C-alpha cells in the first residue's frame, strides 16, 4: 500500500525524480536528497518505448506529457560506416510505433530533469549528501542529520553511498568495463532532418548525432582522448560536428558498468538505476531502465502490503532484465571496437539491416508488464 508511505530517495536524477512522481500520485510522502548543490546539467540522452510505456501506464498523462514536451521525436535512425556508406536505416515509426505506440526520443538531461521535477510532487533538497543508510530505514547526511523513512531508495548513481553502506565487510566488486568518450551540444541542426538521427562507425568506436528541440543537435563520440577528441580517421561530417561545438558545451565522459547482484538491497533499503546496475551507454538505456525500475517498484509497492517484501520482489523481478541489458551493452561495445577496423566494417556491411535493427533495438522493447 503506497498511501501514507514515508519514502526517502537518495538522488535527484532521472530515476529518483520519476519514482517520486509515481509515488506522490498515489499518496506517498517523498523526501528527495541530492548531494549536488543544484540540478546538474549533463548532456543529451535517448529515450525509447520501454521507458515511455512505463511512464504512460504508471506515471500517467501528467508525467508522460511533461517528458514528451521537452523531447524531440525520432523517426529514423541511420547507421553508417566511416566512409558514409549506409548499413541500416531503421524506420522507427514503422517498427517501434507500429508495434508499441512509441518512437524514440532525444532530450537534454537537464531539460528532462526539470520536466520530471515539475511533476514530482516533492521538493529536492540540494546539497544533502547521504553518507550512510541502514537496513532499518535510517539515512545519515554529511551534516550528521538523520532522516527516517518507511523505505529508503538509493538512486544516487554509480558511486552510490547507499549501496556502499550496505556492502558486507570484505566484499569484492565484480569486474566492470569502462567506456571513454565525449559529448556535446551544437546550437544548430546537423542531422538531415528534425526526426533523423545518425550513427557513424569510426576508428575508436561509434559517434552519433541526435536532433533536439529548437533546432539543436546532441552528439556523442567514443574516444579515449583526455584533453580533446582525436578526430584522426573520422568522417569529415563528424569532424565538422565536433569542431563546430562551443567548448563550454563539450564534456568528457567516463562511463562504466557493473554486473548486477541478484539482490541489491536489504531490510527497508533498495537501489534503483545506476546505483544498482550501471550500463555502458552503447545501448542507450541508462535513463530508460531507471524509469522502468521506478515503474516496477511503484507497482510492487501498490500490490504488496508489506513494503519490505515489495522491495525484495522488485529486486527479484528486475534482476534478469538488467543482467540482460548489461550483457547486450557489453556485446555492442565489443562489436564497435573490433580490430582491425576494416573487419568490423565488412561485418557490418554484410549484416542484414534487420539484424542490426534487432541488435540495437532489443533493449528498447517494453517489458511484458507494460505492453
pLDDT digits (tens, 9 = 90+) for 116-129: 999 999 989 999 99
If one counts every other C-beta atom within 10 angstroms of the C-beta of residue 228, the result is: 12
What's the grid cell of residue 248?
Answer: 563550454
**Edge-to-edge strands of the sheet including 178-186?**
86-91, 76-80, 196-202, 205-212, 216-222, 178-186, 250-256
How high is the pLDDT of residue 8? 98
Helices and strands, counts by H and E, the chain: 12, 18
Q: Could you tell me whether strands 6-10 and 151-154 are parallel, antiparallel, or unpaired per DSSP bridges?
A: parallel
Mean pLDDT of the 168-184 span = 89
Q: Could you tell me whether strands 178-186 and 250-256 are parallel, antiparallel, or unpaired per DSSP bridges?
A: antiparallel
Q: Is 164 helix (H, G, I), strand (E, B) or coil?
A: helix
Q: Could you tell me whether strands 130-133 and 29-34 are parallel, antiparallel, or unpaired per DSSP bridges?
A: unpaired
Tens of pLDDT, residues 81-135? 999 999 999 999 888 988 899 999 999 999 999 999 999 999 899 999 999 999 9
Q: Helices in 108-170 by DSSP H: which ranges?
A: 109-118, 161-166
How high is the pLDDT of residue 106? 97
Residue 359 has pLDDT above 90, yes or no: no
Could you give the CA distance from residue 339 to residue 292 in angstroms, rounded to a whole number? 35
Give the residue with greater pLDDT, 298 vs 341: 298
Residue 301 has pLDDT above 80, yes or no: yes
Could you give the CA distance from residue 298 to residue 319 in angstroms, rounded to a whole number? 16
The alpha carbon of 25 is separated from its chain's Cα centroid by a whole number of angstroms, namely 23
State which of 3-12, 179-188, 357-366 shows the largest mean pLDDT. 3-12
Tens of pLDDT, residues 151-164? 999 999 999 999 99
Lowest model confidence (mean pLDDT) among 18-22, 73-77, 211-215, 334-338? 334-338
Q: What is the largest distance, in Å, between two alpha-carbon atoms of the chain?
A: 60
Domains and CATH numbers, the chain: 6-176+256-370 (3.50.50.60)
Mean pLDDT of the 267-293 span = 95
Mean pLDDT over the full length of the chain = 94
Determine contact, residues 316/358, Cβ cutoff 8 Å.
no
How high is the pLDDT of residue 75? 95
Could you give the CA distance from residue 156 to residue 328 in angstroms, rounded to a whole number? 24
Mean pLDDT of the 320-332 span = 93
Residue 41 has pLDDT above 90, yes or no: no
Determine contact, residues 326/279, Cβ cutoff 8 Å.
yes
Could you give the CA distance from residue 293 to residue 8 in angstroms, rounded to a whole number? 16
Amino acid at each position: 500500500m503506497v498511501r501514507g508511505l514515508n519514502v526517502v530517495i537518495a538522488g535527484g536524477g532521472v530515476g529518483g525524480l520519476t519514482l517520486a512522481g509515481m509515488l506522490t500520485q498515489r499518496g506517498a510522502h517523498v523526501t528527495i536528497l541530492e548531494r549536488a548543490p543544484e540540478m546538474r546539467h549533463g548532456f543529451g540522452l535517448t529515450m525509447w518505448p520501454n521507458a515511455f510505456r512505463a511512464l504512460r501506464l504508471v506515471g500517467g498523462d501528467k508525467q508522460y506529457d511533461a517528458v514528451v514536451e521537452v523531447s524531440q521525436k525520432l523517426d529514423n535512425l541511420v547507421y553508417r560506416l566511416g566512409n558514409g556508406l549506409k548499413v541500416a536505416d531503421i524506420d522507427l515509426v514503422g517498427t517501434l510505433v507500429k508495434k508499441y505506440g512509441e518512437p524514440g526520443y532525444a532530450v537534454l538531461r537537464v531539460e528532462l530533469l526539470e520536466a520530471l521535477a515539475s511533476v514530482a510532487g516533492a521538493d529536492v533538497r540540494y546539497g544533502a549528501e547521504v553518507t550512510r543508510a541502514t537496513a532499518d530505514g535510517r539515512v545519515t547526511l554529511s551534516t550528521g542529520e538523520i532522516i527516517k523513512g518507511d523505505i529508503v531508495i538509493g538512486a544516487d548513481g554509480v558511486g552510490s553511498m547507499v549501496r556502499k553502506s550496505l556492502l558486507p565487510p570484505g566484499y569484492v566488486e565484480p569486474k566492470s568495463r569502462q567506456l571513454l568518450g565525449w559529448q556535446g551540444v551544437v546550437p544548430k541542426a546537423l542531422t538531415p532532418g528534425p526526426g533523423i538521427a545518425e550513427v557513424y562507425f569510426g576508428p575508436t568506436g561509434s559517434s552519433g548525432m541526435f536532433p533536439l528541440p529548437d533546432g539543436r543537435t546532441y552528439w556523442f563520440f567514443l574516444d579515449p582522448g583526455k584533453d580533446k577528441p582525436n578526430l584522426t580517421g573520422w568522417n569529415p561530417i563528424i569532424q565538422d560536428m565536433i569542431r563546430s561545438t562551443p567548448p563550454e558545451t563539450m564534456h568528457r565522459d567516463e562511463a562504466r558498468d557493473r554486473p548486477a547482484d541478484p539482490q541489491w538491497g536489504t531490510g527497508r533499503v533498495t537501489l534503483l538505476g545506476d546505483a544498482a546496475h550501471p550500463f555502458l551507454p552503447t545501448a542507450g538505456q541508462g535513463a530508460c531502465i531507471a524509469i522502468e525500475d521506478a515503474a516496477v517498484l511503484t507497482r510492487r509497492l501498490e500490490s504488496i502490503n508489506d513494503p519490505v517484501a515489495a522491495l525484495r520482489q522488485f529486486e527479484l523481478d528486475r534482476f534478469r532484465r538488467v543482467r540482460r541489458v548489461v550483457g547486450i551493452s557489453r556485446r555492442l561495445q565489443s562489436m564497435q571496437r573490433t580490430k582491425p577496423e576494416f573487419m568490423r566494417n565488412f561485418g557490418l556491411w554484410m549484416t542484414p539491416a534487420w539484424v542490426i535493427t534487432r541488435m540495437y533495438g532489443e533493449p528498447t522493447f517494453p517489458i511484458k508488464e507494460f505492453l
